[in-house]
Amino acid sequence: MTRIGITGHSSLPEDTAALVYRALREGLEPYARNGLHGITCLAHGADQIFARAVLDAGGEYEVILPAPDYREAKVKPHNLAEFDELLAKAVQVTYMPFEKSGREAYMAASKELIRHSERLFAVWDGQPSSGYGGTADVVEAARKAGLPVDVFWPAGARRR
């Protein structure tokens, strides 16, 4: 079974989300034959798109959350139903040992994801992170750890 982690942008317009979903499904296809295990922090955007793509490819996923307050503190009202649905479909949910969600907790969750992954998929436009623990920081940490990184930013993709 191949263990693939995800990092990526959260502010993706609907048309970009569709492009990213197709790119991720295509990227996951070679791994689906031998069993596929995704690892996600389940943030809005790339993480949730990845979780759906893993399920649609016949795989399973686990979730690593930055802190027990993540849902209440960080999930926006318009995304609560999708977050709850995807969280319920996870084969395992792990919380990092932080009381509150924040930049340090996000990066710790991403580092835990890297530690448990055999490769990292990054939905990334190549730009620097806007704050500690952003996509660029996670990609850099994965590369420093020697983890193979596949970057997905389909033609026509954009951020809000």
- Per-residue pLDDT reduced to its tens digit, 9-28: 999 999 999 999 999 999 99
Q: Whole-angstrom distance between the N-terminal and C-terminal Cα of the chain? A: 35
pLDDT in tens, 20-65: 999 999 999 999 988 999 999 999 999 999 999 999 999 999 999 9
Give the pLDDT confidence score for residue 132 in this predicted structure: 85
Q: Are 120 and 142 spatial neighbours (Cβ–Cβ below 8 Å)?
A: yes
Give the pLDDT confidence score for residue 127 in this predicted structure: 95
pLDDT in tens, 95-130: 999 999 999 999 999 999 999 999 999 999 999 988
19 to each of 50, 88, 131, 141, how far by Cα in Å?
A: 12, 25, 25, 26
| Nearest-angstrom CA–CA distance, 140 and 78 | 31
Show me where the domains of the chain are located: 2-152
Q: Which CATH number does 2-152 carry? A: 3.40.50.450
Region of 45 on the Ramachandran plot (φ > 0 left; ψ -120 to 50 alpha; else beta)? left
